[in-house]
Each structure stands twice: as C-alpha cells, then as structure tokens.
Amino acid sequence: MKEILITKQESNQRVDKYIRKYLSEAPLSFIYRLFRKKDVKINGHWVKQDCIISEGETLTIYVSDDQLKEFVKTKEARKADLKYPIIYEDENILIVDKPRGLLVHGDSLEKRLTLSNEVLNYLYFKGEYNPKVTSGFTPAPAHRLDRNTSGLVVFGKTLPALQELEELFKDKIEIEKTYQALVVGNIKDRIEIDLPLIKDSNSGLVKVGKLKDGAQKALSIVSPIKQYEGYSLVSVNLVTGRTHQIRVHLSSISHPIVGDGKYGNFMTNRLFKSMYGFENQFLHAYSIEFKKIGGVLSYLSNRKFISNLPKVESDILNKLK
C-alpha cells in the first residue's frame, strides 16, 4: 500500500492521470485494473478514475512494495541555480530568457542539456520541486521555441497554472506573443500574412499549401520597427502558432529572416557570417502580454513581459547603416 499527500503542484487533475504519471512504468492494463478492483481511494473512500484530486487529500494505492519498485521511475535532477535570466517568477509561473542554441525540450540527439532540465534543477535547488517526492506532476514549459530562437519561455510551476497557460497559448485570444526579426529587404507598412502551412513529409520542411490538401490556417502580422540599407527590423505577432510559421511566412513574401539556414537567403547568410561572424537566425521572442484572464493566473491580467534583443544581435544592428 502507498499513501500520497496531494500537493498544490499536483492538484486539479484526474486521479487516473496522476497514477499513470506516478506509476510511469506500469502498463495501462495494470492501472485500470486497480480501479476495477477498487484499489484506489481518496481520503479512505473508493473513487472512480475520473475523480479530480485536490490539494491536501490523501491518495491510497493498494500496490505491493515489489510493484512500486518495478513501476515507479524516479526522475533525475540535481540542485543548481539557473544560469539564464529570469524575467519573472512567482509561486505559479516562471518566465525565462532562453539563449539561442539551447533546446527547450530534449530531442533524439540531446536529452540532458535542455532548458526544461535546467529549470527543474533550479526548482529543486529552491526546494519547490523534488523528483523523489513529486511524481504526479513535473513543472514544464507551456509552449516551445526553436533551438535557434532566443527569448521568452513560460513555465508552469503547478498543474493548475500549467493547464491555464496551455489553454491561453492554444486559444491565443487573451495572450499575445511578439517576436522581433531582421529580414532581407525593406518593409515599410504593416502586413498581414494569411497563408496556410503544411509540412513536407519528404524534406521535413514547412511550406505554403492549400487547406484542401491538408495545410493548416496560419496568420502572422508583421509591423516595421526600423529600416536599414537593404534590411528591416520588424515585429511579428502570431495569431496562430504553426511550426516555423514566422520563418516560412516571411520567406514566402520575399523577406526571409537573416541567418535562417532552412528558409533564408544563402548569399545574405554568407555575408553576415563573413562580416559579423553571425551564423544563426535573427529571430527573438521579444514579449508576452497577458490580456484579461481568469482562474489562478488572473493577477497577471494586463501585464506585459519583455526580453530585449541579445547583445550579439544588438551589436549587428548598431553596425548596419
């Protein structure tokens, strides 16, 4: 038998989802057999799998010590301060300024050195997360940035906060993400790019397509910030959030992002490498603004968080005519 006191971090989720995370190595058939045999209780009362757990409740799972050893996999974390700038933090969320070159989540080539792991180490260091105690919820980012895009990433430190953040980023009505990019050519007026996007299964690249062929609706709003000789610094507001949306949209109107190796201009990229040693896409997640929101994050309504351009990009702008 295992008794677990539900914390604030873990609350507000279905009990079966919690147990699936806690007994992460157990087959689904085993987990749902627990419910059929009435081997799951909350505060001493048998519950069904769709029961929502709350902070302070005691969850009892009737499993043997051998089954716990077999099915519980402790997450790894080491206590360490966060080496990346924290733009904002409270008991519910953490907003981090991610450098370019760092993955938010792990991929097939890199699983350890990620922003998510660094944040978990930091929260462990602060005593707000303990992988040996908390298995039903892990703090996580509510959205993603490409490896080579710098800027703001928002993490949910509790499950209710993460659920609310994910809903906000999904609907994109009460939250606004703005990027800054240096593009080829001069953009002097506001442009709405309303072009559906589809991923090419052969090349892995995203391209403009047709809705009838499976492309997804994508809308970007581009506004000029400053003009340079042959280039423009622009802000881009994502109305939708498709993979590589900003990069493909800007390339599709003949204003590719400087340094973009997939969708950019080869000659421009070679020029910036030779003149400035710059080999990355000039794209930065500049701001996140919360509109009128409710729920556990209602206190963030009408607040805006900003990450200024990194020094490398700022220095390049200062050298451009």
Distances (CA, A) of 251 to 184, 206, 244, 281: 9, 11, 11, 12
Burial of 298 by CB count in 10 Å (0-12 exposed, 13-18 middle, 19+ buried)? exposed
Q: How many residues are given for the chain?
A: 321
Other CB atoms within 10 Å distance of the CB of residue 124: 20
Catalytic residue at 146? yes
Angle ∠(181,229,273) on CA atoms, nearest 5: 60
Strand (E) positions, 15-130? 40-42, 45-46, 52-53, 58-61, 86-89, 93-98
In whole angstroms, what is the distance from residue 307 CA to residue 179 CA? Answer: 10
From 261, 237, 250, select the one nearest 195 (Cα to Cα).
250
Query: Cα–Cα distance between 310 and 99 in angstroms, integer?
Result: 8
Q: Would you say 92 and 50 are in contact if contact means Cβ atoms under 8 Å apart?
A: no
Cα–Cα distance measured from residue 89 to residue 62, given in angstroms and rounded to the nearest whole number: 38
Catalytic position from the list 16, 107, 146, 194 = 146
What CA–CA distance (Å, rounded) separates 4 from 42? Answer: 10
Cβ atoms within 10 A of the Cβ of 272, count?
21
Task: Give the catalytic positions in this structure.
Answer: 146
